[in-house]
Amino acid sequence: MPYIIGTSIPEEKVLVQSMCDIYGLGLSQSKNLCKKAGFGSDARGSDVTFLKGKVLENFAEATLLPFGADLRRFQNDRIYHLCNISTYRGSRHRKGLPVRGQRTHTNAKKRPLLKFNVK
């Protein structure tokens, strides 16, 4: 099973679809990366060798957009910053409530209950 950018790629799945499993890569970006690396639209994960996997990683890292663990770290740092400067959005993140103005009177009642470590 090949690994690309820290994510395992299933051998039986279509490569374009399995590249979407990488956090931050969508279908159109994965199609473009596979086309640049020389894979067809029907290529499977079993077609990826070690060298072709490295080529895919190099093309992916050449893009300017963050993805994978870098994107997760970036988003968590922004949320941590909002909590540190005591913004309203940060307090909503901390409490586990909806952040972007969603209704809480009838919806979003289970989300705070699922959070165990509210700080």
Chain centroid to CA 80: 18
* Domain boundary assignment for the chain: 3-62, 69-114
pLDDT in tens, the chain (119 residues): 778 888 888 888 999 999 888 899 999 999 999 999 888 888 998 888 888 888 888 888 888 888 888 899 999 999 999 999 999 999 999 988 889 988 888 876 666 666 555 45
**pTM for the whole structure:** 0.72
The DSSP secondary-structure symbol of 96 reads T
Residue 45 · residue 16 · CB < 8 Å = no
Is the CATH number of domain 3-62 1.10.8.50?
yes
The CATH number given to 69-114 is: 4.10.910.10
